[in-house]
Chain A
Amino acid sequence: MSDKSSSRPSGFDRRAFMAGAAGSVLVPMTARAAAQDASETVAQNPSLPVEVTLRVNGKDKRLSIDARTTVLDALREHLKLTGSKKGCDHGQCGACTVLIDDRRVVSCLTLALAAEGQEITTIEGLATDDRLHPMQQAFIDNDAFQCGYCTPGQIMSAVACVREGHAGNEPDIREYMSGNICRCAAYPNIVAAVKQAAPEIMKG
């Protein structure tokens, strides 16, 4: 795994944060925390805001947030991108799935600070110039949702599933789409949607 921490614009030091969060020895703190009290640092108090730049749907977004903020909460509570949903906050349901550097990731288990310098794609960034992404269209055509709450996560997961090469047949699609729970149980329609969109996505 490449270490990108040196390129982090915030200067936030992950090791210092981890050490502080674990309650061990004091570590010199490099974050430009907005604290007035110089003796209080993020290492001691993670609720002190730290600055972070997230690249979301092709745009850089500068944020001042609690160091423990997840990508999901950064998107929803700070960037007003509420398409990604919170269904469990434990990585169990998949409703928060986004792409980070083209990999599908449960954004509720990913700290925003850890995603700095990486390309985050959310459901809001999938359509281009008001044209729906083929997976979005396929979800409509196949009625692959009911209440719609899990849908952004399903679609992000489905796009990645196709690009990973896991959409070649129905059993594969079912298996590789099983990290996304749909309580309305639109599963057969989701499989049909992924099947429909896969060739178009692979064509590029």
Chain B
Amino acid sequence: MTAAAPEPKTNMGQSVPRYDAAAKVTGRATYASDMPLDNPAYAFLVTSAIAKGRIDRFDLDDAGRVRGVIDIVTHENAPKLKESKLFSNGGYAGTTIQPLRSAEIAHDGQIIAVVIAESYEAAREAANRIKVSYTAAAPSASFDSPGTTMAAAKGQNAQFKEDPAVGDFAKAFDAAEVKLTASYDTPTQHHNPMELFTTSCAWMGDNLVIYEGSQYVYGLKNGVAEQLGIDADKVRVVNPYVGGGFGSRGSMTPRTAIIAGIAKRLNRPIKLVPTRDQGFTIATYRAETRHEIKLGASRDGKLVALRHEGAEVSSRPDAYCVGGTKTTTRLYACPNVDSLVSIVRADRNTPGFMRSPPEVPYLFALESALDELAAKLNMDPIELRRINDATNEPIGGKPYTSRSLMACFDEAAKAFGWSQRSSQPKSTSDGNWLIGYGCAATCYPTQMGPSAARVRLQRDGRTRVEIAGHEIGTGAYTVIAQTAAERLGVPLEKVAVFMGDSDLPPAPVAGGSNSTASTCSAVMMVCDQIRQRLFKAVMPSDSLTDKAKETVGISPAPSTRAAKGDRSLDLEKAFDALGVGVVEEYGEWKPEGAPLDSFRAMHNGQVRLVGGHAMKDQIAYAFGAEFVEVRVNRFTHEIRCPRLVGAFAAGRIMNPRTARSQLMGGLIWGMSSALLEATEIDERNARYVNDNLADYLVPVNADVSGVEVIMLSEQDDRINPVGAKGLGELANVGTNAAICNAIYHATGQRIRKLPVRLENIEV
């Protein structure tokens, strides 16, 4: 066993290698732009050089003369597309700013023309030869820019339902023995998945195939069909592998229907490979946020009052908002809570989900503030969290289905060596390096969505699982194969999994950390349908059939839930009794509490996620604790993070290998959000400045040294049949606060604005 494949603990699956490992190390894994096309034409985008105003005129003469140019598409001749509503308003789109509809410009980098040519090189040259005359207006870039508007999120965003509050915050804060008020800022960030935002479209008569990296093939299929005004059954989205998502491919962007429309008109497959910098404005991003936290506590550390006010930037037409107060108001026991989230509208492209959308910025604020309160109280920050640990969330009083927060703190603290920490800041050094230890909590809501699956079992045990799930690096193929193998009792190597194709049974968006719980629950259910059919054939007694689901396995018995009285089934005999060569079952699974229209919505490419705080009688979250060591150079102010330790409890761990990798990547993302990542905005022009991978800093290998992931055993039978909470977005939450807390411990300086750069340190 390597460190990459941890020994499974209780309630963990096997650390088998990835199902898609061989394909990925040999170059055989085919991502969207790898798909072969028959005689494609190449598209190159032209994007707006102003953020607000209108296009007066295009001069296309030069561009049109470039050898190999087939067509130049602008708002004056673009295929007519129907509007699509924002995903949160019952649509599919991540933005309602639809380019090529008019001369109006809503943000910098908006698509204003598409060049189609025989080669990529010719399309690029022609795009560069297009001259555009604009009438520009002064844009509003961000929070402090003139011309922005600000209003409460509640009432303008259908998914933001409440500003959670309980008790009497004002009175309790006023009377509190110890008070803290602090403000925090987080920056704009871009996902920058390694795979560019490519789209290929090919028509076969009236049928359209789209090759595009997507975290939601059913959403994209239905969204593009709606924009083109055609039956969704005519559209197929294919992407067996996705080169990273992180939220950027969760909702439809305008480019897809544009390319589909042009391909239709030219009657030729079109391949679009946008540039990295175009990716900053033709897709979404994590918007900048601002926070004010007020905490009131008794001298012994009991929270008596908590208020979290957040503000987020969005575009002019779309009220996108992450609204993390739903989590921060419920994390700790506190009788008097108040909150408010507001949206600030600026001349920007519409933001969207980015890995742990609400928790990354909102827990940065809360977990930083708790550390400040601990320092005020002269109390160990772990103990402050222990004193305020909750079994029931304070807003509605609902119990957590399971909550291992303090167990995570204790395990991680032990592994990290927290007991070696001096309680005084600026008290530890090693030569010119000031050393600081910091910690913070993480949590992420457990979410599930309706999902379907088709499973086919042959008499030799070969199994085929079909589900329109998404392999974005999470290990989805692997855990789905493991689930089917275990449930049917067939060897893992006999299971084949087909995903990333909207012609397969629908699965929810690969977002909100719901995929494993949703898809594996559906696969489990359908495997059980097969088991029941086989048992009914050989033992046609009703009572046995009923028992089969829980207590009887196909040979050999499933390794989990092996109950007394398990009986093996001879597959050959069962197939003979049924008189068939193949048993195939299709099923649709939905989580408890899913709304009535769930299945219809599922087929229409709309997810009805349930879970987190929105469950009826309970609240479900995964938890973790993160510890970091930072070193700050006394003279150069260079900041290093040599150690990251995280302990996590997320229900059943399907595969400790893929889980560890995801959590490890999450911790590094968390470090990055504290020390590296920010999209810089030119305030005058509302333009992203560092829109490339050299200037937008993401971690490279040399930035990362000691990362330790600890997975705790946790069993939770109240969430979903699989018992998995989801962990794709758990580990990159709280890390930013832990690092700032460690910088305080190293230097005595509180930094409340991310990212922390050496120029922010004043030792």
Nearest chain A residue, comparing its CB with the CB of B17: A140
Total chain B interface residues with beta-carbon distance under 8 A: 70
Listed stretches B74-82, B419-427, B655-663; interface member: B655-663
28 A–B contacts from the bound complex (CB under 8 Å): A47-B67, A66-B121, A73-B120, A82-B27, A85-B243, A87-B693, A90-B694, A92-B276, A92-B694, A95-B194, A139-B21, A140-B25, A143-B658, A145-B473, A146-B661, A147-B243, A147-B244, A147-B245, A147-B472, A149-B243, A174-B704, A174-B705, A177-B701, A181-B698, A183-B193, A185-B668, A187-B701, A188-B707
Asked if A150 is at the interface (CB within 8 A of a chain B CB), the reply is yes
CB <8 Å contact, B192 and A143: no
Asked if A164 is at the interface (CB within 8 A of a chain B CB), the reply is no
CB <8 Å contact, A148 and B24: yes
| Main SS class of interface, B | loop
Residues in B446-479 with C-beta less than 8 Å from chain A: 471-475
Asked if A155 is at the interface (CB within 8 A of a chain B CB), the reply is yes
Nearest chain A residue, comparing its CB with the CB of B471: A147
Asked if A189 is at the interface (CB within 8 A of a chain B CB), the reply is yes
Inter-chain pairs besides A85-B194, A90-B692, 13 sampled, C-beta below 8 Å: A46-B121, A73-B121, A85-B243, A87-B196, A88-B276, A122-B27, A140-B18, A145-B24, A147-B193, A147-B195, A149-B243, A178-B703, A192-B4
- Given the complex of chains A and B, what is the CA–CA distance between A75 and B246 in angstroms? 28
Asked if B125 is at the interface (CB within 8 A of a chain A CB), the reply is yes
Q: A147-B194, A177-B701, A185-B699 are in contact. Are A83 and B661 (CB under 8 A)?
A: no
Q: A140-B18, A142-B2, A188-B704 are in contact. Are A66 and B196 (CB under 8 A)?
A: no
Q: Mark A131-170, 1 if CB is under 8 A from B, else 0.
A: 0100011011111111111111001000000000000001
Q: A127-B26, A143-B4, A146-B661 are in contact. Are A191 and B694 (CB under 8 A)?
A: no
Residues of B within 8 A of A73 (CB): 120-121
Asked if B28 is at the interface (CB within 8 A of a chain A CB), the reply is yes
- Given the complex of chains A and B, what is the CA–CA distance between A189 and B121 in angstroms? 37
- Given the complex of chains A and B, what is the CA–CA distance between A145 and B194 in angstroms? 12
- Given the complex of chains A and B, what is the CA–CA distance between A191 and B707 in angstroms? 12
Nearest chain A residue, comparing its CB with the CB of B27: A83
Nearest chain B residue, comparing its CB with the CB of A127: B26
Sorted nearest first, the 5 A-B pairs with minimum C-beta distance are A83-B27, A149-B243, A147-B473, A146-B473, A148-B24
**B interface residues with partner A (beta carbon < 8 Å):** 2-5, 17-18, 20-31, 33-34, 36, 66-68, 119-122, 125, 192-196, 241-246, 273, 275-276, 471-475, 657-658, 660-662, 664-665, 668-669, 672, 692-694, 698-705, 707
CB <8 Å contact, B33 and A86: yes
Asked if A68 is at the interface (CB within 8 A of a chain B CB), the reply is yes
Residues of A within 8 A of B20 (CB): 148
CB <8 Å contact, A124 and B658: no
Nearest chain A residue, comparing its CB with the CB of B31: A149
Nearest chain B residue, comparing its CB with the CB of A156: B27
Which residue among A143, A151, A180 has the maximum number of chain B CB atoms within 10 Å of its CB?
A143
CB <8 Å contact, B701 and A192: no
| Main SS class of interface, A | loop
Residues of B within 8 A of A173 (CB): 701
Q: Which listed residue (B28, B122, B473, B704) contacts A83, Cβ 8 A?
A: B28
CB <8 Å contact, B699 and A147: no
Residues of B within 8 A of A30 (CB): none
Q: Which listed residue (B25, B669, B698) contacts A145, Cβ 8 A?
A: B25
- Given the complex of chains A and B, what is the CA–CA distance between A181 and B665 in angstroms? 13
Residues of A within 8 A of B276 (CB): 87-90, 92
Residues of B within 8 A of A137 (CB): 25
CB <8 Å contact, B4 and A146: no
Asked if A101 is at the interface (CB within 8 A of a chain B CB), the reply is no
Q: Which listed residue (B21, B122, B657, B699) contacts A66, Cβ 8 A?
A: B122
Chain B's nearest CB lies how many Å from the CB of A159?
Answer: 12
Which residue among A45, A48, A86 has the maximum number of chain B CB atoms within 10 Å of its CB?
A86
Residues in A33-91 with C-beta less than 8 Å from chain B: 45-48, 65-66, 68-69, 73, 76-77, 80-90
Residues of A within 8 A of B273 (CB): 86
CB <8 Å contact, B693 and A181: yes
Residues of B within 8 A of A143 (CB): 4-5, 17-18, 657-658, 660-661
- Given the complex of chains A and B, what is the CA–CA distance between A92 and B277 in angstroms? 12
- Given the complex of chains A and B, what is the CA–CA distance between A92 and B695 in angstroms? 10
Chain B's nearest CB lies how many Å from the CB of A104?
Answer: 14
Q: Which listed residue (B27, B474, B657, B662) contacts A123, Cβ 8 A?
A: B27
- Given the complex of chains A and B, what is the CA–CA distance between A24 and B438 in angstroms? 61
Asked if A113 is at the interface (CB within 8 A of a chain B CB), the reply is no
Asked if A29 is at the interface (CB within 8 A of a chain B CB), the reply is no
**A interface residues with partner B (beta carbon < 8 Å):** 45-48, 65-66, 68-69, 73, 76-77, 80-90, 92-93, 95, 122-124, 126-127, 132, 136-137, 139-152, 155, 170, 173-175, 177-192, 196
Residues of A within 8 A of B672 (CB): 185
Chain B's nearest CB lies how many Å from the CB of A192?
Answer: 7
Residues of B within 8 A of A123 (CB): 25-27
CB <8 Å contact, B275 and A89: yes
Chain B's nearest CB lies how many Å from the CB of A20?
Answer: 14
Q: Which listed residue (B25, B34, B125) contacts A47, Cβ 8 A?
A: B125
CB <8 Å contact, B196 and A86: yes
- Given the complex of chains A and B, what is the CA–CA distance between A86 and B692 in angstroms? 13
- Given the complex of chains A and B, what is the CA–CA distance between A76 and B194 in angstroms? 16
Chain B's nearest CB lies how many Å from the CB of A35?
Answer: 9
Nearest chain A residue, comparing its CB with the CB of B23: A148
Q: Which listed residue (A66, A147, A155) contacts B25, Cβ 8 A?
A: A155
Q: A47-B122, A82-B30 are in contact. Are A146 and B662 (CB under 8 A)?
A: yes
Q: Which listed residue (A45, A68, A69, A93) contacts B67, Cβ 8 A?
A: A45
- Given the complex of chains A and B, what is the CA–CA distance between A74 and B189 in angstroms? 33
- Given the complex of chains A and B, what is the CA–CA distance between A112 and B5 in angstroms? 41
Q: A88-B276, A185-B665, A186-B661 are in contact. Are A47 and B700 (CB under 8 A)?
A: no
Residues of A within 8 A of B662 (CB): 146
Which residue among A81, A146, A187 has the maximum number of chain B CB atoms within 10 Å of its CB?
A146
Residues of A within 8 A of B28 (CB): 83
- Given the complex of chains A and B, what is the CA–CA distance between A75 and B2 in angstroms? 35
- Given the complex of chains A and B, what is the CA–CA distance between A93 and B658 in angstroms? 24
CB <8 Å contact, A147 and B241: yes
Chain A's nearest CB lies how many Å from the CB of B271?
Answer: 8
Residues of B within 8 A of A170 (CB): 705
CB <8 Å contact, A150 and B194: yes
- Given the complex of chains A and B, what is the CA–CA distance between A196 and B5 in angstroms? 14
- Given the complex of chains A and B, what is the CA–CA distance between A182 and B192 in angstroms? 10
Q: Which listed residue (B31, B192, B702) contacts A174, Cβ 8 A?
A: B702
- Given the complex of chains A and B, what is the CA–CA distance between A1 and B241 in angstroms? 41
- Given the complex of chains A and B, what is the CA–CA distance between A192 and B242 in angstroms? 24
- Given the complex of chains A and B, what is the CA–CA distance between A175 and B2 in angstroms? 23
Residues of B within 8 A of A144 (CB): 4
Chain A's nearest CB lies how many Å from the CB of B224?
Answer: 23
CB <8 Å contact, A174 and B2: no
Nearest chain B residue, comparing its CB with the CB of A67: B121
Nearest chain A residue, comparing its CB with the CB of B708: A188
CB <8 Å contact, A148 and B119: no
Nearest chain B residue, comparing its CB with the CB of A194: B701
Which residue among A87, A123, A139, A174 has the maximum number of chain B CB atoms within 10 Å of its CB?
A87
Nearest chain A residue, comparing its CB with the CB of B195: A149
CB <8 Å contact, B473 and A148: yes
- Given the complex of chains A and B, what is the CA–CA distance between A8 and B678 in angstroms? 46
Chain A's nearest CB lies how many Å from the CB of B107?
Answer: 22
Residues of B within 8 A of A83 (CB): 26-28
Residues of A within 8 A of B245 (CB): 147
- Given the complex of chains A and B, what is the CA–CA distance between A191 and B2 in angstroms? 13
CB <8 Å contact, B664 and A141: no
- Given the complex of chains A and B, what is the CA–CA distance between A144 and B48 in angstroms? 39
Chain A's nearest CB lies how many Å from the CB of B192?
Answer: 6
Q: Which listed residue (B4, B23, B121, B241) contacts A142, Cβ 8 A?
A: B4
Nearest chain B residue, comparing its CB with the CB of A150: B194
- Given the complex of chains A and B, what is the CA–CA distance between A181 and B695 in angstroms? 13
Which residue among A185, A186, A196 has the maximum number of chain B CB atoms within 10 Å of its CB?
A185
Nearest chain B residue, comparing its CB with the CB of A137: B25
